[in-house]
Chains A and B, each alone.
Chain A
Amino acid sequence: GAGVSQSPSNKVTEKGKDVELRCDPISGHTALYWYRQSLGQGLEFLIYFQGNSAPDKSGLPSDRFSAERTGGSVSTLTIQRTQQEDSAVYLCASSFRRDTGELFFGEGSRLTVL
């Protein structure tokens, strides 16, 4: 597709379950970011992938959170043993490094933990 695609758009889960959120970046984009946004608040940085470099995981809030990016394209954010405070919109963004760095955002995955 032409834009960044995220799935699912909505996910409701029970506390303690694991969830996976998927991001399909724009083809050819080497940089990929995950952010979390609660109730229309600011962007909380989670993780940053840039080409073949080691990912910047400095924003992951706990070891229950992990992310991978396979083949330099699709990324999956996994949250294990979900907690109610994990409820938020998870945003993915991508960019092509060799330009001026404008980010293209997906519509987000809204996670609700009951």
Chain B
Amino acid sequence: AQSVAQPEDQVNVAEGNPLTVKCTYSVSGNPYLFWYVQYPNRGLQFLLKYITGDNLVKGSYGFEAEFNKSQTSFHLKKPSALVSDSALYFCAVRDLNRDDKIIFGKGTRLHILP
């Protein structure tokens, strides 16, 4: 069965510094990977996805993620963090062997310090 792990409950980054939110996955076959964000008191929003092609995927709000097949990782990155990036971030994988069910990680809370 496919699964996804976010090893950090919380990440603190100073404003202007680069940020990374980690995600690893285990799959059978080629992975379909996603990042979602939940801003305070808001619903979840899609950020970006990897299906195939270039390993560096660009998404909304200046975020990008790098697919690394050998390390089975899909870390979310941004070159320069903003205070407004503070939110809860979820990594997800599509389980092609379970009727295309989307499985979420437990989430990582990102705090950007002014």
Give residues in A with beta carbon < 8 Å to B: 31, 33, 35, 40-43, 45, 48, 50, 53, 56, 91, 93, 95, 97, 100-108
Contact = CB atoms under 8 A, between A and B. Distances in A.
Interface string B102-114: 1111110000000
Given A48-B99, A102-B46, A43 B51 contact: no
A42 B107 contact: yes
Contacts, number: 61
B22 interface: no
Given A40-B88, A56-B101, A102-B46, 17 more contacts: A31-B100, A33-B102, A40-B38, A40-B40, A42-B90, A42-B104, A42-B105, A42-B107, A43-B90, A45-B103, A53-B99, A56-B99, A91-B44, A100-B32, A101-B100, A105-B44, A106-B43
B32 A101 contact: yes
- Give the interface SS of chain B, mostly helix, strand, loop or mixed: strand
Nearest to A97: B100
12 contacts: A41-B107, A42-B90, A42-B105, A43-B44, A48-B101, A100-B49, A101-B94, A101-B100, A101-B102, A102-B34, A103-B34, A105-B45
